[in-house]
Copies of this chain bind each other. A is one copy, B any other.
Amino acid sequence: MRVSLKDVAEQAGVSIKTVSNVVNKYEHVTPATREKVQAAIDALGYRPNLTARHLRKGRTGIIALAVPELGNPYFAELAGAVVDTAAEHDYTVLLDHTQGRRERELLVTQGFRARVIDGLILNPLELEAEDLASRTDEAPLVLIGERRYDLPYDHIAIDNIAAARAAVRHLLDIGRRRIAFLGARGDRHSHPAHLRLLGWQAELAASGVTADEALIARVEGWDRADGATAMAALLDAGQHPDAVFAYNDLIAIGAMRVMAERGLRVPQDVAVVGFDDLTEGRYGAVTLTTVAPDKRAIARMAVESIVGRLTDGPPEEAPGGGPRQLQPEFALLERESTVGRSAGPPLD
């Protein structure tokens, strides 16, 4: 029992165009006809077929968001912000998991949803510049996250090096000197420079503290279990860091769990700083000091980048000019894992 404009038109005794006018709230319609048409719409239970509208208009109002996986709260929180922001612009979000696999990232990039998505927001992990360079799909693409490519796409990310330096600076300020970095990526794939690791190195160097290679712990992934494994490995290797700067909050949380099991006190024995400001970090037995990227700003910039490109055309033709590197704000939130219980309201 699918009912179309034509059915409504017949029922109301008007043309298809008039019904369309009513449906689309076109102004110049006599109240009388409008009423008549509306009655027919209600009687038949008519609903516009959006697919047909999309085909005709060449737009769908759908943007895709591709993240490694929602099991990671950072991406979940970010995805939530994107969904909300998109809704404000009358867009809906289609969600894809890349699992951080290059082939999946490549696939979403190559327009496998051609013409059903108006644009794509991608957080790449494994994608290489050449993968992107060969992209032919014309839907606007905006990249988010730590990886940078020298390509004509908008890119949104905080200044990771500066953020990492701020975290390490804080640890130095509270008197720590043996500061471990947890979360370097194994170099199996000859991964490009790791900005947060570079920040760690840079800040230590600037302060005349030796960046001890033995204090760099590598991980296989970025989850809590990886943090636990990395921390255990570090301790088992006989290292005695007095502070840990973790690639992200999940790794920090996994590391803290291992410390708790081994009787190490946070922050007295080991101070900990994470990255991402997950809500989770605010509710542990010891709240987590962290670098807080402005997730809502990231979501807003990403969505507005897409919407803007859709409105103004591709970078080359856009009034504002070419591709942009946007840097949302970040803040270092000092909590118990570095400054102890006394500092400020506990749940902030």
Residue in B116, B228, B283 whose beta carbon sits within 8 Å of that of A54 in the complex: B116
Q: Does A280 contact B (CB under 8 A)?
A: yes
Contacts of A138 in B (CB 8 A): 1-2
* Min C-beta distance of A119 to chain B, whole Å: 15
Q: Does A162 contact B (CB under 8 A)?
A: no
Contacts of A125 in B (CB 8 A): none
Query: How often does this chain occur in the complex, in copies?
Result: 2
Interface size class of A (residues with CB under 8 A): 35 or more
* One of A7-15, A94-102, A240-248 at the interface: A94-102
Q: Does A312 contact B (CB under 8 A)?
A: no
Interface residues of A: mostly helix, strand, loop or mixed?
mixed
Contacts of A304 in B (CB 8 A): none
B284 touches A45 (CB 8 A): no
Contacts of A62 in B (CB 8 A): 94, 116
Contacts of A220 in B (CB 8 A): none
- Expressed in whole angstroms, the Cα–Cα distance for A323 and B332 within the complex equals 52
* Min C-beta distance of A186 to chain B, whole Å: 21
Give residues 269-314 of A contacting B (CB, 8 Å).
279-280, 282-286
* Min C-beta distance of A45 to chain B, whole Å: 5
B228 touches A347 (CB 8 A): yes
- Expressed in whole angstroms, the Cα–Cα distance for A137 and B73 within the complex equals 33
Contacts of A71 in B (CB 8 A): 76-77, 80, 279
A50 touches B283 (CB 8 A): no
Which 4 A-B residue pairs are closest in the complex by CB-CB distance? A76-B76, A70-B80, A285-B285, A47-B114
Known: A47-B137, A49-B55, A70-B70. 6 other contacts (CB 8 A): A49-B114, A52-B115, A69-B80, A73-B76, A93-B94, A253-B283
6 A–B contact pairs at CB < 8 A? A49-B114, A50-B113, A54-B116, A80-B97, A92-B96, A93-B94
